[in-house]
Chains A and B, each alone.
Chain A
Amino acid sequence: MEGIPYTVSARRDTGLYNAKLGVWLFLASEVMLFGGLFSAYVFLRLGAPEGTWPLGKLDWVPGFINTGVLIFSSITVILAWTALKLREWKKFQMWMGITLVCAVGFMCIKAYEYNKKFNHYGLFIKETAIEKYAPELLAAHAHVVYHPNSRTYEITGHVKNGAVLQEITALNELIDQEPTAELREKYTQQLDGLKIKLAVDEPPNIPGHPHENPLEELQAQEKAEIERNVERYDIEEARGSVATGHDDHPVVAISQGDIWRSGYFFPSYNSFFAIYYTMTGLHALHVIGGSIVLGYFLFFGAKLYRQNPEHQANRVEVGGLFWHLVDLVWIFLFPILYLL
């Protein structure tokens, strides 16, 4: 019996060649894969206590540019396919080349965004210690978020004294290894005394989400106490003492002992960054995989094109369908991560 039929030409009753059907099925499966992650996003976001889901943590400009880049590359991949259908190899090379440049550009912008987040720091101040820092933070117009589950106040910014982070890591490691109790105690005290200097972020300006500083609420609740200790909450005076740092953002110093948890904006920082890195990382893997396939068609497709141009066109069509899915996923990712 002959080889496998319908590898290039369509079967009459289905109107499809094998690979086209195959890729649509694959796309269905991909939709379910990302569907699982999108539902996880919804689940986590709805489960977060009110007001604690981070908003405005991502700069929408590079994300918006990336959306444009991907949409544009979806158009060029169709043009590449059209060129093959018209048997214009040079034009195919041009359009497919542009598609690949777009893919590389997308990845570069993504890398720039990741890198920016990897240098952003945040810390959670214990509720019991917040009074110490309240005047300073109010004076600095810091963006403060209260987390009822862990009973902590979160502030974010850029670390001004990187050496202290090294020392914190080193001390933590030593305390874990230290066999004698007295030395453990000594190093723990040393650790708690260290201070992280943070050039704090200001509240993001998000339409429809006016920022409510939990410290002001705290202040109102304890008005009587404030009146007794005027100087402790004297914002004007505190403002004078706050130094400015990164981009003229005010700097506050927080003792390690008063911090529940801290870290750069890695996946482990909070649920938002966990889902952000997981989804965009998986999407980036798809971009890389798609570019490898499309690049193979561009750089190694000439021979097949000479032998069977329709087969080559079909391959590009199938690859293009996948590329559109990659684009489509991003079109959903962009608003839920950057805008909403």
Chain B
Amino acid sequence: MSELSQSTSSSNKPFPLASKPFAPDDEAALREALKRCSPSTFEAAVQFRKTGNADHMPAVVIGVIERFVEPDLRAKLKDADDDLRLIEDLGIDSLTMMEIVILVEDVLQLTINNDELRNLRTVGDVKTFIDCKIRGLPLPRPTKFLPIEHIGAVMPVQPPFLFLNEASVSSTGANGKYKITGQEFFLQGHFKDNPVMPASIMLEALGQLAVLFLLEGAPAEPGKAIGANTIYFTGCEGVRAHRMCKPGDILTLSIKPKRMKMPLATFEGAIRVGQEKAVIAEDITLTFAYVESAVAPPAVNGAALPVSDSDNSANPPLRVAFNA
């Protein structure tokens, strides 16, 4: 059991333990520890211990998680979807999480604190967590699940032009859902007697999810926060619509940041309906600015205040409504 030293900031440098030779005894111990995991998990673990290359880490982590998941739920892990929720989708409780961590510690030769485990909600969270541990990086903020009340409290966009019912935001991106109700005002004219969700509005929805990411997910700078009223759309590239979306469809939206350097943030985005592609956007670019803020992030219970205070006049009516 060895402590992790914060010796590397580059993601390409091998893990420090590579310098300790991986002996046959170690391989035997590893085989025993992973005896109930798939052979590919064992192979990945051996490679990791020999080379220190963190690219093998995800296979090891997924393999260990799989070993502790009930057989009839393991199929869900096959797609290795980072948004798979540990509790709701895989039936992993906090005790099982401890079992997973103990095995991961043993196999990857790490030490992990219990406090840090509490925020792991998805498979992606676990991978990111282990990855940061290996590279000696600070841990990212946990994935937050945001219901409509929270979204409404923080977003500069409001109904009837808000196209997010719920969202989850992590440091690596955001996912959201929106159900086309059929009551949307623009559907009356688009088209007459044939309501179709405009592609431009679907692009807008992705942009809104990106705004939410900037406000809730982007890594925080000390004493500074992104101002909700400083965010504007500036451009997009490579936008394609593949499917007509109609009332009743539930849009599954996702965005991932590609580049972020003030004043611009560029994202890639996608919308699916079920398994089908609806919209792809290679680049969506927004401008943003920081404002001074010592305020903590909003609470999740609806009685929330937006982080940015730069322009009070635009928001008071909403704040009053939520604080009432």
Real binding pair: no
